[in-house]
Amino acid sequence: MNPTRRSFLKIGTGAAMASVLGFDLKAAYAESKELKIARTTETRSTCPYCSVSCGVIIHTIGDKAKNVTPQVVHVEGDPDHPINRGTLCPKGSSLMQDIVNDRRLLKPQVRRPGSDHWEDIGWDQAYAEIGRHIKKTRDESFITTDSQGITVNRVESIAWNGGCTDTNEFNYLAVKTMRSLGVCFIENQARV
Amino acid sequence: MSNGTLEIKAISGHAGPVAGRDTSRDYDVCKLIDVTTCIGCKACEVACLEWNGYPFRETVFDNTYQTMPDLAWNYYNLIRFNEHVAEDGTFSWLMRKDGCMHCADPGCLLACPADGAIVQYANGIVDFNQDNCIGCQYCVTGCPFNIPKFNHETKKVHKCTLCSDRVGAGLEPACIKACPTGCLHFGSKDDMKDLADKRVKQLHEHTSHKSAGVYDPPGVGGTHVIYVLHDIDHPQYYGGLPKDPRVPLLVRIWKGPLKWLGNFAIAAGVIAAATHFVRYGPKKVEEPKKEEVV
Amino acid sequence: MTNGWIDIKNTDMMLIMGGNPAENHPCGFKWPVEAKRERNAKMIVVDPRFTRTAAVADKFLQIRAGADIAFLGGMINYALENQRIAKEYLVNYTNASFVIKEGFKLPDDGLYSGYDHDKQTYDKSTWNYEGAGAHQAPSGKASQSGEAPAPPLAPRQAPPPPSLPPNVIYDTSLAHPRCVYQLLKQQYSRYTPEMVERITGIPKDQFREAADMFTSVRKDGDMKKVATIIYAVGWTQHSFGAQIIRAAAMLQLLLGNIGRAGGGVNALRGHSNIQGATDVAGIFDSLPGYLKVPNPTDKDFAAWMTRITPGSSKPKDWDSFNYYSNTPKFAVSFLKSMYGDAATKQNDWAFDYLPKVDREYSWVHIWDDMYQGKVKGVLSFGMNSVAIGPNSQKTINALKKADWLVVCEIYPDETSEFWKSPGISTDDMKNIPTEVYRLPGAGFAEKDGTFVNSARWLQWKWAAVPPPGDCQLDQAILARIFLKVRELYQKEGGKFPDPILNLTWNHLDPNNPSLSELAKELNGRAISDVTDAPTQTTMKAGQQLPGFSWLRDDGSTSCGNWIWCGSWTEAGALTQRRGTDDPSGLGIYPNWAWSWPMNRRVLYNRASCDLNGKPWDPDRRQVWWNEAQKKWLGVDVPDFKPDSAPKDHMGPFIMNPEGVGRLFVPLAGMADGPFPEHYEPFESPVANLFHPQQNTNPVVKKYTSDMDKYGTPDQGFTVICTTYRLTEHYHYWTKNNPMNVQLVPQMFVEIPVELAADLGIKGGEKVKVSSARGTYIAKAMVTRRIKPMTIDGKKVYQIGIPIHQGYRGIQEDAGRESKTLANLLSPTVTDPNAYTPEFKGFLVKLEKA
């Protein structure tokens, strides 16, 4: 949302006349530009970029009432956060554009074998196909025992790559699901 | 609706006295830029862009970390990067946040003929009101720091507002808040000068920067943006910071001997139209103008 | 980090090396600046480039990329030569006095004792302490706590690896010729200022000044002052990265700086939650809380526990807490968290559900195996594999051989579009069989949950907005995929479905597990009533546990990650706390969020006190012994056995079986030697001056496919190249963000003025950088910030490449930027301990494009 143009000096004509005529004993005041975060809802979050973990306040328009979809208008440092104390770097300062960005992926897509383009796919269809792929690959290559006959129960044909901004709780879900599948190749941005 | 009002100290192109001028020194604000702790991260640049909602501006690589060669109408502050080799061969990488200095004696305001296009608030902020700007660009001529920038599409001039909207609501300017290292600081002019002096003393006593000093040039009546420089004798090393900036002589003449001529014409316009909503009282007792730089 | 971001303000001296915090952690960097401003602390920066961190340093030294161990070895030598060491700390809190076995050999020729040239590994049996009396087998808690001792292993299995002696011979006079201190002196006596200059390119006078400055905190035996070391991936991303960090830790132990406010060895880490990902074992070689994964030699649960539970190993008169003796409690509780009622004592806590691994499955191995056709499917959640790893073309070519790829992302990325990366025609695509699913996930502002920052703080964040469009929460996506797989196994059966069918899944909405449910599961709860013997307090069944001392190995507790136990207790989510009080003024903020372990902010803080339990510096008191109360008190949570009196001489490094800090790492601790030794990067323009016949790390990990090419100076690859991030950008992410693109619109190569002049390159012109693996084209940034170096009399140039360019982005899509990746250049060579690739310091050729 663009801020409205400044509206300072907009005090009534009468006042202007009065002041020109010198009736007003007060000093002159001008309204400054509208403060764009005057009526926003503040949500405390953590910057997703580096490991300093700066506290950020996400300002949204909309008061979280049921019938309102909030819209992010500004992101600013959280002054209470003991580490960043309200400051943000050039990446943190641009977080609004990371949230509201017209390059975001908005629907599931699939690229079929040999194809040269993306196709849209429904979520249910995507889950069904992915589930089938995982089961097929796992069943085809599951290693119950190693060459010496020792039980190993592992899968070496599926890999999991976790990202740097995955939360702890999500990562635990990944560890749980992947280890239970027997996946050995569990890796993360943490390695590289 | 605005959330704050700021007391006016001076108005461009305005007939007659400005009410309350120089009566509110307590509210003087100041941005301190301690160049010795600037890491050139550009958080201030982005915080400014984000707060002001300015659109994407295509830039090109130019053999430097500096975002663009100069400020722009929608780019109020710019870190100037300078690789500097001293006479003894010592290398330094100097980074200075460039932007409006908010002069106590603003050349832009002096030069501006449009009523209410430039306002100096009592707290020291010099702000442009594009609604009243007539696009003459006299302010550009009047500025000894080459700050105001013209938007060729809208024919209006822009520059840093020191976030008058935020300051009016009791917040600090966006750049100040963002600055990761605390190289930027905000407070009263007196407090910022104390802080700057203390830092300079520390640099003298504990570092190799024996020529460190505070930049608060008297030629423009002092500024509401002051620097701590490692080398106060050579401000030009920091991307062309002028050593002794002054309001251009022509501007002084236009606003000195010829001032009444201009004011008369404009005052007539204001009274007749009564659509410029400036409210001011009878002239208060003017205090002698305080020198901000000793 | 052993300490934390804010704690840096307490320091007197900083060595920032292998990291560039002003650019990569700007908001954390305020605390080093604060130390300069408030304490007149000094900052030494060592880097191949004059960075924005260097711009505010008191001293900057330009080092050749990859010569870090030579520099730090020189520092250790300087500290020893000039007795700038913390004697009492060294003798009592480190293994300096421990005597090493006969037969151990230092690497004068580049090799430690026990090297096997054929296998390129070490037999580490001589890398051990000399034990007093008969050498005993290790006695883990598993066998001590009444469980049956493990029966002898089957003959075809490998014999148990050698273990530490329980009773170590030691000499507190440090005079024994085989004591660690004497070996250390001998090892680093070779790292003279002259050698430092010849290897690193740092003139010896400058080196001496820096060494004098850093070690000045121990001038004349004073223990009040503190120095810190701050590093990041500039150290880890080498084929000997882990040893660089070891060298730093050793220097800090010598100076007595670990455990102290303003001290420590501080890994800055590079991303919002890779600390958390490591903690919860998003990596192949550990289970949550750094438990070692089972391998095939572990025939059952007890055998696994025996192998990974250390027995204490210490001088007879000293005490050792040996906290990892509790390993079985952590492991059983983890398996209970995973498999609930299906994990019973009778079935060995579902031990067979865990995959048993005896090879490496690290990042680079994934793509090597896939390139060989062995890995058929990949799930990539928020991880841009093509751009991030070394040798991007190998990754792309590997993906061409996969059957399927699932990418969950928020922007179009190089990985999901590998099949249309530059150079692949529509015809070529017909031959790429990979089925690629691209699922739109949620951004950070759309999700709650915790990250762990580099200071080990777990901080909850709240969701501000719902995901846009058809995007779904990542946890919902993963849940739906898993539940689909489980459904197929339920309906159709298949290979070993037991772990899949029995995985705990206690979520109100199974299709969309809430992160708070998972956070509680990670913390752990009592399954049946559990009583703490010392305090006679009881946690009722179902209650959240207050800390890991409550965990049990009898199945009565469940805990997803023992080091996070205490983060979500009956008192609620401590990770959500927002207390801004800092009563000590040391920046501890005990009521802000929650720090593992047990809300401790500075690790090993017992070492901040002398032998009698009195703080080395009374002005920076962290913990202390209270004789009247017979316990340790403090402004931080004591990292120690709370009632261990100083006279018992318990070591402060409670996670080591020795209880002391390791100057010498015994046995399997390190793959490449008990002490760090200087090796050249895998691709280097110069020979190793210490031992030219053993130029590089003898146990380095390298690969042999036709995509794994390595360059030499003879082939024309003579320029050293290093890669890094800019403060204006974040990996391959902000190229989608207009404001960041505006700041740095096009990627560049930083080139010394002299090299540019040699090649006739002007700033702004396009240049081509080539390695044995690929080429990279970008604009030249000609600068004085990288100087030519003289390495043993030879002129050597270094150049630098910021990594943020890719195939998709605002500039790439607009045709304003060449579509290329910095990692087309980097080699598939990794450190043998951490498996981190060598992104810093490989060889290239530079020319006009």
Whether pLDDT at C159 is above 90? no
Candidates A6, A7, A8, A88: best to mutate against B (most CBs of B within 10 A) is: A8
Residue A27 gets the label, from left (phi > 0), alpha (psi -120 to 50) or beta, of beta
B272 burial level (CB within 10 Å; 0-12, 13-18, 19+) = exposed
Structure tokens at B110: 């002096």
With contact defined as 3+ CB pairs under 8 Å, the chains touching C are A, B
Could you tell me the two tokens for C495?
């290979």
- Residues of A within 8 A of B117 (CB-CB) are none
- Tell me the CB-side half-sphere exposure of residue A1, using CA atoms within 13 A: 16
3-class SS at C449?
A: strand
Q: Please give the Cα distance from B284 to C834 (Å, whole number).
A: 75
- What gap in Å lies between CA C420 and CA C418, rounded to an integer? 5
Q: How far apart are CA B11 and CA B120, in angstroms?
A: 6
Handedness of CA B214, B217, B222, B224 (dihedral sign): negative
Q: Is B277 on the interface with C (CB under 8 A)?
A: no
Question: Are the Cβ atoms of B40 and C58 closer than 8 angstroms?
Answer: no
Q: In angstroms, rounded to a whole number, what is the distance separating the alpha carbons of residues C762 and C756?
A: 7
Residue range A41-99 forms a domain whose CATH class is: alpha beta
Q: Does domain C6-79+191-272 have CATH number 3.40.228.10?
A: yes
Tell whether the model's pLDDT for residue B15 goes beyond 80.
no
Q: Is C507 exposed, middle or buried (0-12, 13-18, 19+ CB in 10 A)?
A: middle
ipTM of the complex model: 0.95
pLDDT surpassing 70 at residue A15: no
Interface test with B, best of A36, A42, A93, A98 (most B CBs within 10 A): A93
The predicted-structure confidence for C223-254, as pLDDT tens digits, reads as follows: 999 999 999 999 999 999 999 999 999 999 99
Residues of chain A numbered 62-81 and touching chain B (CB < 8 Å): 74-77, 79
Residue B277 has pLDDT above 70, yes or no: no
Query: Who among A2, A3, A24 is closest to B281 (CB)?
Result: A24
Name the H helices within B115-188: 138-142, 164-168, 174-178
Render pLDDT for B113-131 as a digit per residue (tens, 0 to 9): 999 999 999 999 999 999 9
Nearest to C317 by CA among C416, C170, C460: C170
Look at residue B255 in the predicted model and tell me its pLDDT. Answer: 65
Average pLDDT on B183-210 reads: 97
Q: For residue B274, what pLDDT band results from cuts at 50, 70 and 90?
A: very low
Q: Which of residues 807-826 of C touch B (CB under 8 A)?
A: 816
Neighbours of B222 (CB within 10 A): 24
Please return the burial class of B277, using the count of CB atoms within 10 Å of its CB with bins 0-12, 13-18 and 19+.
buried
Q: Which of A19, A31, A86 sits opposite B2 (nearest CB)?
A: A31
Domain ranges of chain B: 8-273
- Check if the beta carbon of residue C344 is closer than 8 Å to that of residue C352: no
Q: Residue B257's pLDDT is what?
A: 60
Can you point out the beta strands (E) in C50-123?
59-62, 115-116, 121-122
pLDDT, tens digit, 9 for 90 and up, residues C163-218 = 999 999 999 999 999 999 999 999 999 999 999 999 999 999 999 999 999 999 99
pLDDT confidence of residue A17? 36
DSSP C519-530: HHHHH-EESS-E
CATH architecture group of domain B8-273: 2-Layer Sandwich (3.30)
pLDDT at C402 over 90: yes
Give backbone dihedrals phi and psi of C112, rounded to 5 degrees, phi first.
-80, 170
Q: Which residue of B has its CA nearest to C782?
A: B63
pLDDT over 50 at B191, yes or no: yes
Residue A1 in this model has a pLDDT that exceeds 90: no
User: Phi and psi of C531, rounded to 5°?
Assistant: -115, 135
Q: State how far the Cα of B110 lies from the Cα of B103, in Å rounded to an integer.
A: 11
- Does B56 touch chain C if contact means CB atoms closer than 8 Å? yes
Please state the rounded mean pLDDT for residues C553-561: 98
End-to-end CA distance of chain C: 42
Q: Chains that contact A by 3+ CB pairs under 8 Å? A: B, C
- What is the CB neighbour count within 10 angstroms for residue C813? 15
Q: Would you state the structure tokens that stand for residue A102, as one six-digit string? A: 């017209």
Question: pTM of the full predicted structure?
Answer: 0.93
Residues above pLDDT 70, as percent of chain A: 83
Cβ distance of A18 and B279 shorter than 8 Å: yes
**Does residue B112 contact residue B142 with C-beta atoms inside 8 Å?**
yes
Q: Are C837 and C829 in contact (CB under 8 A)?
A: yes
Q: Which residue has the tokens 């979050």?
A: A45
Task: With beta carbons under 8 A apart, name residues in chain A contacting C275.
Answer: 51, 190
Torsions phi, psi for A66 (to 5 deg)? -60, -40
Residue B9: the pLDDT is: 83
Name the residue among C94, C180, C59, C172 with its Cα closest to residue C130: C180
Q: Exposed, middle or buried, C803 (CB in 10 Å: 0-12/13-18/19+)?
A: buried
Q: What residue type is assigned to position C688 of the chain?
A: N
Residue C661 is given by DSSP the state B
C51 Cα to chain B: minimum distance (Å): 9
pLDDT band at B12 (very low <50, low <70, confident <90, very high): confident
> CATH number for the C692-848 domain, one of 2.40.40.20, 3.30.479.30, 3.40.640.10, 3.40.50.150?
2.40.40.20
Using CA atoms, how far apart are residues C589 and C636, in angstroms rounded to an integer?
Answer: 9
pLDDT confidence of residue C722: 98
Residue C765 touches chain B, beta carbons under 8 Å: no
**Phi, psi values for residue C456, rounded to 5°:** 70, 20
User: Helix, strand, or coil here: C749?
Assistant: strand
Name, in order, each residue with C-beta under 8 angstroms of B241's C-beta and a sequence gap of 6 or more.
B96, B98, B215, B227, B229, B235
Q: Tell me the per-residue pLDDT of C323-364, one tens digit each, with 9 for 90 and over.
A: 999 999 999 999 999 999 999 999 999 999 999 999 999 999
Report residue B96's pLDDT band, with 50, 70 and 90 as the boundaries: very high
Q: Which of C255, C599, C573 is nearest to C455 (CA)?
A: C599
Q: Which residue of C has its CA nearest to B178?
A: C27
Residue C157 is predicted with a pLDDT of 52
Give A-chain residues touching C157 at CB under 8 angstroms.
Answer: 148, 150
Residues of B in contact with A78 (CB under 8 A): none
Secondary element (H or E) of residue B139: helix B138-142
Which residue from B167, B136, B154, B128 is spatially nearest to B31, judged by alpha carbons? B167
Pick from B61, B198, B205 the residue to mutate for testing the C interface (most C CBs within 10 Å): B61
Average pLDDT over residues B140-145: 96
- What pLDDT is attached to residue A32? 67
Number of neighbouring beta carbons within 10 Å of residue C538: 12
Is residue B237 within 8 A of residue B96, CB to CB? The reply is no
- Cα–Cα distance, C7 to C585 (Å, whole number): 10
Q: How far is CA A91 from CA A46, A59, B39, B44, C645, in A?
A: 13, 17, 14, 11, 49
* DSSP β-bridge partners for residue A119: A110
Those of residues 126-185 in A touching chain C at CB distance below 8 A are 126-135, 137-142, 144, 146, 148, 150-185
Across the interface, whether the CB atoms of C495 and A84 are under 8 A apart is answered no
Where do the domains of chain C lie?
6-79+191-272, 692-848
Location of structure tokens 């009396």: C133
Cβ pair B63:C58 closer than 8 A: no
> For residue A27, which residues of chain B lie inside 8 Å, CB to CB?
7-8, 19-20, 23-24, 122, 280-281, 284
Q: How close is the nearest chain C Cα to the Cα of A32, in Å? A: 26
Indicate the residue of B41, B50, B207 with minimum beta-carbon distance to C26: B41
DSSP of C146-201 = TPPPPPPPPTTSPPPPP---SBB-B-TTS--TTBHHHHHHHHHTT--HHHHHHHH-
Please name the residue that has the structure tokens 């309102």.
Answer: A68
**How far is it, in rounded angstroms, from Cα B68 to Cα B239?**
13
Contact B22, B9 (CB under 8 A): yes
Which of A13-17, B211-215, C30-34, C116-120 is least confident? A13-17
Which has more pLDDT, B285 or A121? A121
**Distance in angstroms (rounded) separating the CA atoms of residues C65 and C238:** 9
Contact between C243 and C672 (Cβ < 8 Å): yes
